[in-house]
Amino acid sequence: ADSHCEPHFTALFLQHLPVTYSREVLLQTLNAEGFACAFDFVYVPVDLITMSCSGTAFINFRTHDDAVRAVQHFSGFTRWLHSESTEICRASWSNFCQGLKAHIERYRNSPVMHEKVANICKPMIFNLGVPVPFPAPTKRLRVPRQRGKTSQRGRGGKAEEVGEEEC
């Protein structure tokens, strides 16, 4: 886990999730691991052609303390639900967005929120564990490009989201 964080940080970037994971299975994992009601935003980027997980997720926690607990808990995590994956999770502070408001503003006008994109591919927001509607876009949404959205960038092959869905 990254040791450097600011006291207001609440958002994590998880890497090395099983490619079979979906947003729903990640939510089940978060709840099973003691984080029910602790998060208010979850996004698992999905390849819109293959519908497979990119192996990454963005999660915003309601409090900094919950986020610290999560980054510690999921660093090195291997107890994947519904998967025999041997992937070892890497949890770090998100470099893209911090806070629920920033995530909403980033994604509400993103092509991933277009009506042609399946709901299972979209980010979700929560209020005490209950899904709530994502705020409406403030501009016309473009249809997402139909090509893979992930690549290997950065040192050590760090997977980062690229393209229009990058936060």
**Which residue intervals of 11-154 are DSSP H helices?**
23-30, 64-74, 100-107
Q: What's the pLDDT at 146?
A: 67
What percentage of the chain exceeds 70 in pLDDT? 84
| pLDDT tens-digit readout, 29-63 | 999 999 999 999 999 998 888 888 889 999 999 99
| pLDDT tens-digit readout, 71-106 | 999 999 999 998 889 999 999 999 989 999 999 999
Cβ proximity of 96 and 71 under 8 Å: no
CA 14, CA 17: separation in Å to the nearest integer? 7
Cβ proximity of 138 and 110 under 8 Å: no
